[in-house]
Structure 1
Amino acid sequence: MTKTMIIPATQKAALLTAFGKDIEIQYDYPVPAVADLTPGQCLVRLDVSGVCHSDLHIQRGEFRAIPTFPFIGGHEGIGTIVALSPGTQATLLADIGRRVGIKWLADACTKCELCRTGYEPLCTSSKLSGYTTNGTFSEYVVAAINHVVPIPDNVDSKAAVSILCAGLTVYKGLKVSNTKVGNWVVIPGAGGGLGHLAIQYAVAMGLRVLAIDTGAEKKRMCLEVGAEKWIDFRESADVVKDVVEACDGRGPHAALITSPSGIAYDNAIMYLRPTGTLVCVAMASPEYSLRSPVGLIIGKSLTIVGSVLGNLQDAIEALDLVARKKVKTHFSTRKLEEINDVFQELHSGQLVGRAVIQF
């Protein structure tokens, strides 16, 4: 691979300057200098960036950490490595000219117990793309070579970029759902960015899927990508009853919540069959807490699992299923200048599938 690439002095970038404010587009934002990269870092020229619901939560100030303003958001990106930090050696996965992905976990210590046991996203020294370090809403981004993700050659960047957070999140959530082939899994928010990918990963794992969302367009997409049954929560007079009846009259074995709705979490406790598992991946509103009776959780021997992101191996597995045509992202291509419009569509629930920004 070539070891020299032309790197401009400035770039186009989208900056958040305060919580609750629209994102500002700058056309002359400085590109990080190669000389300023620290050991183990690389500079990536991005081709695309995904837009995640978590980006909206960050913009609205709904996460705990307080970033340093202004900062560049975004945590799903794919591009080409154009430089390595001085003194850093290339690896099999990271070299100049290699196409790689940027996920939310930008870096971690790799030495603590959590890192050693595959829970790098929980490392107390972790850095998060687009939140505690600049992210992918820009043409260039700094990345740690130990955390970039190799992109399969036969997968288009726009088709793969949403896997780096949305796909990775639901794939890992399904891995910890205590399900086996033939089990029912309910996916509230199934027509959204996470949900439509979750349907496909679940089907690839041999699970039967009941999709919950609203609207004819989302129903069509959910059934097309593999959901066996569908419930429109706006049309249902009793979602809990309808879910139980749809899943053999006993309820599902698991519920993977991909909707930022507190009601979706409370309903799941009610409709899960005994020994079922509630997998929490979607961020509900900050003031929400589970309101389900503890006695019901005990009486049904339910398991409640929180799952945040996934590690590098999870990302490689999730992308492999895309490469093998088992999973396909439904997306619309947008410009960086449309980022505030995309956020509004996310907030109103109008966005079907994912939005992908092309630089």
Structure 2
Amino acid sequence: MTAGTKHQIGAWVEIPGPDARVVIRDDLPIPSPSAEEVLIKLDCTGVCHSDLYSITGKTPMQLNIAGHEGIGHIMNGKSQWLYEYCNDCEICSKDVTYCPNQKNPGRNVSGTFQQYICSKVKPLTFIPDGISSELAAPLLCAGITIYSAILKLRLKPGEWLLLPGAGGGLGHLGVQIAHALGFKVIAVDTGESKRKLCLELGATRFLDFKVDNVAKTVKELTNGYGVHGAICLAGNKAGYAQAIAQLRNTGVLVCVGLAMEELPISPFMMIVRGISVFGSSVGTEQEMKDLLEMASEGKIKAIVDVFDFQELDEVLEKLRINGISGRAVVKLPI
């Protein structure tokens, strides 16, 4: 930003909801930080399915700029901003990620699909040297979400984890994290490219749901018991039904995929089989630091497709039809 510059480039969402349009504008005001905030110049931002949910009204946005996986610079340091919590309510004393007063970029505060944002310093996480902005951005939502979900399973090394959607944006990170933690991963997806990817990343076994008998093979691999834990990444009822069906008695399901249908499990099944079900959304500051340390050590690496900012609308359409492998990142104008 040069002296006297007052405007920036950003993606303005006209009429957020089912008929929303995303328009690239160069006349948006550069925000002015308060005494408690810093101004951040964004290098790039990840583009997530949850951004689509905000833009189209499934998880309504209150302002007009979406995005929440931004990487930028303040005072020569790299940082990320995912959410800001009050740290003062009863919920925060248990888990800040569910604070009812939190500020979420792209929902109730202006998001990262723009060149500049303001934030208080506390909710920022500084990115270690050696991790590029493009590779760090997907860790801020996809990475921390799947990492926290895996931890909620409380599995022991050598136990079985089922990952439907293992070849996708969250899934391919989940395979790497679970492998690094010593779990046996059954990766479920479809297609030769995803089979090859999942096995290269450390999956114990890959099952193509269009070709293989998933239920039969899972039983064979687990001595007839089923998996110890499953994380459903698919945002539909069928994905959840498959994950639940492969659990052993006392198994644990963690819900991550944003399905709007009712969960296909009855209290009766949970009672007689001892099945536990948890929801998981992003993660804690400490989990984010631990994840970045794993990335610094080379244990995980996001597979990214990098696009120019002007291609954002095209990227959103590709996400809508599941046309992107790995994670999408757009570079902000210099």
Q: Which residue number corresponds to residue 256 of structure 1?
A: 231
SS in 1 for 2:21: coil
Local SS of the residue matching 1:339: helix
1:6 Cα offset (Å): 5.3
Partner residue of 1:335 out of 308, 311, 323: 308
**In the aligned structure 1, how far is the partner of 2:81 from the partner of 2:4?**
19
When residues 109 and 10 of structure 1 are mapped into structure 2, their CA distance, relative to the original with a 3 A threshold, is: same
Structure 2: gaps of 5 or more residues: none
Where 2:111 maps in the other structure, the secondary structure is coil
SS class of match (1:101): strand
User: 2-side partners of 1:294 and 1:283: how far apart?
Assistant: 21
Separation in 1, partners of 2:164, 2:21: 29
Q: Aligned to 1:43, which of 39, 44, 48?
A: 39
Match of 1:135 in 2: 111
CA distance in 2, matches of 1:184, 1:255: 9
Aligned partners of 2:78 and 2:127 also within 8 Å: yes
Are positions 1:351 and 2:324 aligned together?
A: yes
User: Alignment partner for residue 317 of structure 1, among 284, 290, 294?
Assistant: 290
For structure 1, the 5+ residue unaligned runs are: 82-95
Q: Distance in 2 between matches of 1:78 and 1:263?
A: 35
Residue type of the alignment partner of 2:148: K
Deviation at 1:243, TM superposition (A): 2.7
Question: Residue type of the partner of 1:350?
Answer: G
Asked if residue 280 in structure 1 is aligned to residue 279 in structure 2, the reply is no
Deviations 1:90-130 (A, max 9, x none): xxxxxx22211122x1x11111232233x212112111011
Q: Say yes or no: does 1:10 pair with 2:12.
A: no
Report the TM-score when normalising by structure 2.
0.94
Aligned residues: 330
Residue in 1 aligned with 2:61? 67
Identity across the alignment (%): 34
Question: Shift in Å at residue 156 of structure 1?
Answer: 1.0
Counterpart-to-counterpart distance in 1, 2:2 and 2:184: 48
For residue 180 of structure 1, the aligned residue among 133, 156, 173 is: 156
Q: Distance in 2 between matches of 1:24 and 1:127?
A: 24
For residues 173-227 of structure 1, what are the alpha-carbon distances to aligned partners after superposition, in whole Å with 9 as ceiling and x for unaligned?
A: 1111021111110111111111111111111111111111112222221111111
The 5 Å alignment of 1:199-348 reads: 199-236=175-212, 238-284=213-259, 286=260, 288-348=261-321
Aligned residues of 2:61 and 2:106 also touching (Cα < 8 A): no
Quote the residue 2:81 is aligned against.
102
The residue type equivalent to 1:115 in the other structure is C
Q: Which runs of at least 4 in structure 1 moved beyond 6 Å after TM superposition?
A: none
Contact 1:279 1:307 in 2 (8 A): yes
Cα distance, 1:235 vs structure 2: 2.0
TM-score norm. by structure 1 comes to 0.88
- 8 Å contact kept, 2:10–2:114: yes
In 2, are the aligned partners of 1:279 and 1:304 still within 8 Å (CA)? Answer: yes
Q: 1:253: Cα distance to partner?
A: 0.5
Instruction: Give the aligned partner of residue 191 of structure 1.
Output: 167
Letter in structure 2 aligned against 1:61: G
